[in-house]
A and B are shown apart, each in its own frame.
Chain A
């Protein structure tokens, strides 16, 4: 079975500061990795994903995540955050070739303060 650990339940930062949201996973088989963002009172939106190829993936709004197989991690980073980045961020895994279900971490609440 797979599991996802998001080590920080809440991350408060000031505007324009860098941020890293940590995600570690556990799986006996190869996985695909995802970060989803949930803005207040909205559904989840895919932020970025790692399926294969380059281990560094980027989103259109400045976030990036790096897949590290040896450390079983997929941390999310942004060099300079905006107030509009305030949201809940979920890391998720899906096994390659197995069930199509996503297994989510418990989420990290990012709060960007002025």
Chain B
């Protein structure tokens, strides 16, 4: 149990385009989802926290108009990188927490999405 998937696993896009990344909790209801980005050889940096049906809470320094987050259901959250530029190239990882049957509110991570902006 407690499986989180992400789609796509990798994406290459041209500068100026928008990219949508999906995060799904497959076997539990995720009341809260978190979005992270990770640069090579660095730790995970929290971008935003989203609760189902509410607006996301963004970390300081993260542009909410550039990184649009939608958490419309208890099993799906999306991150849209709008007008992507090369500096947005990174590894984006989501995590989900909720009642999974084994433990409550433990964060389980997705496999990540590698974004490369040309």
| Same complex | no
Binding site for B on A (CB under 8 A): none
Binding site for A on B (CB under 8 A): none
